[in-house]
Amino acid sequence: MYDVWKNVLAEIEQQISTANFSTWFQDTSLISTDNGEIKIGVKNSFYVKQLRNRYLDLIKTALQNNNVSVSTIDFEVQSNAKPKVRPREITPTNTTVKTRIKKVKEELKPQTSNTGLNEKYTLESFIVGSNNDVAVAAAQSIVDAPGTRYNPFFLYGGPGLGKTHLVQAIGNALISRNPNLKILYTPISNFYSDFVDAVRNGKGKEFNRKFQDLDCLIIDDIQFIVNKEKSQEEFFNIFNSLYQLNKQIIITSDRLPNQIKSVDERLTSRLAMAGAFDLQLPKFEDKCAILRAKAELMGAEIEPEAIEYIAENVNTNIRDLEGELSTILLMSEVRGLTPLELIENGSVSVNKSSKLRPVSSKQIVEKVAKYYNLPIKEMCGKSRVAHIKTARQVTMFLLSKELNLSTNKIAAEVGVKDHTTVMHGVKKIEKDLKLDFTLRDQIEEIKEKIYG
């Protein structure tokens, strides 16, 4: 029996990745094959589900190729199997929880210098896979020779797929090679509001000079470019003059240049000049690699099976992957169970693919404005009138919860100046929802209108 299974495993090993093989098959055994009724021993019930869902055909074929007749395949949990991660290795203590929370907070701490870059985004911590390898190669080449081949560098992709990380990583890598370089990272919405403020305060020239002096300009989320002639003209001029001086320009967007509305055609054609690079959803193996790297960064231990479980069930984006990982790790510390034990006992259930629904940010903004009987312009404006402000905060809350948009994106959608206002708005609604039943009903009604 032992030899037969050894041969079956050898065959399976040829056909799947090493990581998958060692995760799913290493601790299996062949218990019996009587009358074609195959019984395979596994470590715990989680394996049963995974092996049945993913590898049943493969196992069947490999058995038949080794002259074992197969009518049914069953799995049996063998309790004497050793768990890979012992609970005491991640024993919870308040200190470890606090340490980790502190560490995570430190990681999120933005760099305070005037580049706008956050030093946590590095090329080293950006996991390369088939979903992003071409873009990363271009990024590396920009770091080696800025302002030459990929200029402008236009990076596009859906939310949470790493655009901000990659472009900020380029900026950080350029600075670490040459600390004298003048680099500025800014979301386009901040560019506009800063420009408007500068003009209002009679500092338009200074604003222009600050940009003209740059060696590298990184503009995030250009799809939020505003169709205001003066601001767009300013951006266009800055873009042109940097380009003519061979200064590096880096732009991100959630869509291709020609799909960005309200942009001057001259700018669209400039943006498309060097070709566009995209970031796609990572494949299963890439998701596992990202999760492993993130766990390591947090100094956390997590079983490969738990990693695979998250990777398999989060199909939206990398931000969600990270979110689920953090939740599971924190729960693991608080409850004193390993991540896999939490998954197995049903304490966590991850299913992002069904959680997010097909609705656009525009639809959410429209529905909230309609519900509160406000013109969109007024709701997404600057009014401090209480009911208008609440409607704006409800919009922020729904954009965050329903679409998982980044705070910067939400800021641009609802016309507020910066992401801290969004963070405050979302938190306010979260807090109010605990006590305010009317608000709770309102939000439910709005959701019904959105999805109804």
Tell me if 160 is assigned to a ligand binding site: yes
Q: Does 254 bind ligand ATP (CB under 6 A)?
A: yes
CB 305, min distance to ligand ATP, A = 21
Do residues 211 and 184 make contact, with C-beta atoms less than 8 angstroms apart? yes
Residue from 11, 194, 312, 322 in contact with ligand ATP (CB under 6 A): 322
Q: Which two tokens stand for residue 42?
A: 């596994």
Q: Does 367 bind ligand ATP (CB under 6 A)?
A: no
Tell me if 336 is assigned to a ligand binding site: no
Tell me if 61 is assigned to a ligand binding site: no
Residues in the chain, total? 452
Nearer to ligand ATP, 9 or 136 (CB): 136
| Interface segment toward ligand ATP; rule CB under 6 A; list 142-150, 269-277, 318-326, 370-378 | 318-326
Nearer to ligand ATP, 127 or 365 (CB): 127
Contact positions with ligand ATP (CB under 6 A) in 395-424: 406, 409
Residue from 319, 352, 424, 428 in contact with ligand ATP (CB under 6 A): 319
CB 403, min distance to ligand ATP, A = 9
CB 293, min distance to ligand ATP, A = 6
Rounded (10°) CA dihedral 251, 366, 396, 401: -90
134: left (phi over 0), alpha (psi -120 to 50) or beta: alpha
Q: Does 318 bind ligand ATP (CB under 6 A)?
A: yes
| Interface segment toward ligand ATP; rule CB under 6 A; list 56-64, 316-324, 337-345, 392-400 | 316-324
In 178-228, where does DSSP find H-type helix? 188-200, 204-212
Q: Which amino acid is at 283?
A: K
Report DSSP letters for 366-388, one per residue. Answer: HHHHHHTT--HHHHTS----HHH
The helix-helix angle for 45-65 and 304-313 (nearest 10°) equals 90
CB 236, min distance to ligand ATP, A = 23
Query: Which residue of this chain has its Cβ atom nearest to ligand ATP in the complex?
Result: 162
Q: Which amino acid is at 173?
A: A
Owner of token pair 């689920």: 324
Q: Which two tokens stand for residue 203?
A: 């500092």
Nearer to ligand ATP, 254 or 378 (CB): 254
Nearer to ligand ATP, 163 or 367 (CB): 163
CB 378, min distance to ligand ATP, A = 26
Kindly state the number of chain residues that form the binding site for ligand ATP, as judged by CB under 6 A: 19
Report DSSP letters for 12-52, one per residue. Answer: HHHHS-HHHHHHHTTT-EEEE-GGGEEEEEESSHHHHHHHH
Burial class (CB in 10 A: 0-12, 13-18, 19+), 179: exposed
Q: Which two tokens stand for residue 126?
A: 């950006």
Nearer to ligand ATP, 238 or 405 (CB): 405
DSSP conformation class of 179: T
Q: What is the chain's Cα-based Rg?
A: 26
CB 322, min distance to ligand ATP, A = 5
Tell me if 109 is assigned to a ligand binding site: no
Q: Which residues contact 210 (CB under 8 A, 6 or more apart)?
A: 184
Q: Around Cβ 149, how many Cβ atoms within 10 Å?
A: 12
Contact positions with ligand ATP (CB under 6 A) in 110-169: 125-127, 132, 157, 159-165
Nearer to ligand ATP, 73 or 260 (CB): 260
Do residues 244 and 250 make contact, with C-beta atoms less than 8 angstroms apart? no
Nearer to ligand ATP, 200 or 261 (CB): 261
Binding residues: 160, 162-164
> Which chain residues interact with ligand ATP by CB under 6 A?
125-127, 132, 157, 159-165, 254, 290, 318-319, 322, 406, 409
Binding residues for ATP: 160, 162-164
